[in-house]
């Protein structure tokens, strides 16, 4: 294809009426790529994504399509998969509906890209990975937190040997999700019903698997405590419902090299930190605190010597003793950056490492975390293979 020519790629986007599917994937990724003139491929071709919107709520779909000047939408997934020019299927539905959607897309010969978790249990996630591999289509799973500016800076520090020998990682994630009675909840009610695929462990441990492994090393064991701190909430229909899924999880993960990671995940905590997620990494040569965007460090050579004295008020400003890690680069939206990688994978055969086996590893850690919480014990994390 000649340089500077434009090529369209049809993307069936299932679940765009949901918060993540609409905001991060449609508006801030696919439509943003269109607005920048498409995605430039190595041969100079501009790849222009053409979204085909799919969902169960016809009025919401029509409203989204009208707002953004899109004319391809339907509530019929089978119809969308047969649409002219459709090459990629993207799934941002609730987890319980994802497997059927992906299987239909693979059977139709489309490449697949999906939110996580890819399934509700490890065996089904592995089955999906085998189906995708056997079909020979290109496939990928969203691993968005790897593209956060704060974690990109943290990875830069690890790769540069800043920490010396890494000792521990402590993560804090979460915020207060309103119960839905006197203030509207920020998350949909299915998140708090286990029978609908809800729960913070199945949601967040998939993230922690790839974050810990990509930045620090393989996860070898998990010990988790799950809690349902808020037993009743009010749903979108303004009716109360019983919460059957965990809304907080307290996890300890053992990594290669003796690294101990502790990560608290909660929808029942009020934020007293700079960002909604922060990781503190301590090593023999230095420490860092990384969030969504910021990353600050304290090297061994500049570490103060605090003295414990509870009888006197603290006079040190501990935060001022840390140094900001500079951006040194322009950071795009993480979801958009990964979408561009996947589109290049499909259109130009560039590598894309986060396949459905990577997705299954995330499901595995979540499943083992739930089992650990039920049984009250540490559980080894075995290697997964197809």
**What pLDDT, in 10s, does the model give residues 258-308?**
999 999 999 999 999 999 999 999 999 999 999 999 999 999 999 999 889
CATH ID of 148-329+364-375, from 3.30.365.10, 3.40.50.2000, 3.30.360.10, 3.40.190.10: 3.30.360.10
> Residue 30's pLDDT is what?
98
- Rounded Cα distance between 83 and 11, Å, is 10
Angle between helix axes 122-135 and 95-107 (nearest 10 degrees) is 20
125: Cβ contacts below 8 Å, ≥ 6 apart = 117, 118, 119, 356, 359, 360, 363, 364
**What pLDDT, in 10s, does the model give residues 79-95?**
999 999 999 999 999 88
**Which residues of the chain fall short of a pLDDT of 70?**
1-4
> Residue 314's pLDDT is what?
85
Judged on CB neighbours under 10 Å (0-12, 13-18, 19+), 3 is exposed
Give me the DSSP letters along 5-48: -EEEEEEEEETTTSHHIIIIIIIIIIIHHHHTTSEE-TTS-EEE
Smallest Cα–Cα separation from 70: which of 45, 87, 53? 53
CA distances from 78 to 52, 61, 160, 240, 314 (A): 12, 16, 49, 35, 65
Domain boundaries, the chain: 6-144+334-354, 148-329+364-375
Smallest Cα–Cα separation from 116: which of 39, 249, 17, 211? 211
> Residue 3's pLDDT is what?
54
Angle between helix axes 122-135 and 356-375 (nearest 10 degrees) is 170
pTM for the full predicted model: 0.94
CA distances from 76 to 13, 72, 73, 216, 255 (A): 12, 12, 9, 43, 44
Q: Please say whether the structural domain 6-144+334-354 has been given the CATH code 3.40.190.10.
A: no
Residue at token pair 């207060």: 176
The number of residues making up the chain comes to 386
Convert 138-165 to b/e letters by CB count within 10 Å (16 or more is b). bbbbbbbbbbbbbbbbbbebbeeebbee
Q: How far is CA 259 from the centre of its chain?
A: 23
């Amino acid at each position: 294809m000649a340089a500077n020519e434009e090529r369209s790629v049809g993307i069936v986007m299932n679940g765009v009426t949901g918060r993540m599917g609409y905001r991060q994937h449609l508006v801030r990724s696919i439509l943003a790529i269109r607005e920048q003139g498409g995605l430039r491929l190595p041969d100079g071709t501009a790849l222009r994504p053409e979204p085909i919107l799919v969902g169960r709520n016809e009025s919401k779909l029509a409203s989204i399509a009208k707002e953004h000047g899109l004319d391809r939408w339907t509530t019929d997934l089978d119809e969308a998969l047969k649409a002219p020019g459709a090459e990629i299927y993207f799934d941002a539905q609730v987890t319980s509906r994802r497997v059927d959607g992906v299987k239909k897309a693979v059977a139709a010969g489309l490449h697949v890209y999906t939110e996580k978790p890819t399934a509700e249990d490890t065996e089904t996630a592995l089955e999906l990975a085998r189906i995708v591999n056997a079909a020979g289509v290109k496939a990928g799973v969203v691993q968005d937190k790897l593209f956060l500016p704060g974690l990109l800076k943290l990875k830069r520090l690890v790769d540069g040997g800043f920490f010396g020998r890494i000792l521990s990682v402590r993560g804090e994630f979460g915020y207060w999700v309103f119960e839905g009675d006197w203030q509207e909840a920020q998350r949909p009610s299915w998140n708090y019903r286990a029978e609908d695929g809800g729960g913070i462990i199945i949601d967040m441990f998939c993230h922690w698997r790839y974050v810990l492994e990509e930045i620090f090393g393989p996860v070898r064991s998990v010990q988790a405590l799950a809690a349902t701190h808020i037993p009743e909430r009010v749903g979108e229909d303004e009716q109360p419902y019983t919460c059957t899924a965990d809304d907080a999880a307290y996890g300890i993960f053992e990594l290669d090299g003796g690294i101990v990671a502790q990560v608290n995940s909660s929808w029942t905590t009020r934020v007293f930190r700079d960002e909604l997620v922060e990781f503190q990494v301590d090593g023999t040569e230095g420490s860092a605190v990384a969030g969504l965007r910021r990353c600050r460090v304290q090297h061994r050579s500049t570490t103060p010597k605090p003295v414990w004295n509870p009888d006197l008020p603290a006079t040190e400003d501990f935060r001022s003793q840390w140094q900001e890690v500079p951006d040194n680069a322009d950071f795009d939206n993480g979801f958009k950056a990964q979408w561009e990688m996947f589109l290049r994978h499909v259109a130009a055969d560039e590598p894309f490492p986060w396949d459905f086996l990577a997705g299954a590893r995330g499901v595995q850690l979540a499943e083992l975390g739930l089992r650990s919480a039920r049984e009250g014990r540490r559980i080894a994390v075995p290697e997964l293979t197809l």
